[in-house]
Every structure is written in structure tokens, then in C-alpha cells.
Amino acid sequence: MDDKIAGLDIKYMAVEAVGYLLLAIIMDYILATPALYGWIFSYFYRLKAEEIGEDSDVREEELRVQADVEKKLSGEGGGDVENIAKTEDAVIVNRLTKVYPGGKAAVRGFSLGIPYGEW
């Protein structure tokens, strides 16, 4: 048990055993208490919408898709194949929203347009 041989290692291992046991008990308590777990999760991991912001390319895509949808609804845009291939999208997803039972929203207002030739 001399410190130069194995004494420090054994003492360190004893301190680790107590420390990790306490850590395991605290983690188990936090995970078993939904209110405490929810508070800790929301405090550390949720970002506020104002902090995230919106990228300019995301906004441009949304405006482009919305303009394409409005053009199609109004009946504009010629029917010739060359005009369609240059201006319109083959697939349009406009303002998609997915809400799970219980009110949890996964997606809000997702817009996407895939032009001809990219799919």
C-alpha cells in the first residue's frame, strides 16, 4: 500500500468509484423525474427561433416557389414545352407542415421546388 508502488492508484480508484456512483445516481434521478429532465433539456438544448434566424437562400426559395404557385393558379405561363422546362418546377412542396399527435410540430411552412431535369 506504499504510495510509490500501488497506493496512489488504489486511492484514486476508490475516489473514482464513489464519484461515478454519485454521478450515476444523479443521472438516474434526473431521468426518472420528467419535470426536472424537461427543464434541463430545454435549458441546454433548445434554441430560440430568434437566435436561429432564416438564411437568405431559404427565403429566396420560398419566394420563388410561392411565385410559381401563384403563376400556376392564375393560369399564366405558356403551355409550350420549352417555356415549362425553363420556368416551372416538376415538384412543388408549398408551406408543408407536420404536426404529431399531442401538438408537437416537426415542420412548419416548408417550401421546396425541384425544377425539371434535377430529379
pLDDT tens readout for residues 6-27:
888 999 999 999 999 999 999 9
| 68 beta partners | none
Co-location of 64 and 6 in the same domain = no
Residues 6 and 34 in one domain: yes
Tell me the per-residue pLDDT of 23-60, one tens digit each, with 9 for 90 and over.
999 999 988 888 888 787 777 666 554 456 667 888 88
Mean pLDDT score across all residues of the chain: 79
What confidence score (pLDDT) does residue 77 get?
56
Same domain, 23 and 40: yes
Buried b (16+ CB within 10 A) or exposed e, 45-75: eeeeeeeeeeeeeeeeebeebeebbeeeeee
Beta bridge partners of 114: 91
Return the C-alpha cell found at 73.
393558379
Q: Which domain holds residue 9?
A: 1-46
Q: How many domains does the chain have?
A: 2
- Against a cut of 0.75, is the pTM above it? no
Distances (CA, A) of 53 to 58, 66, 96, 111: 11, 20, 19, 16
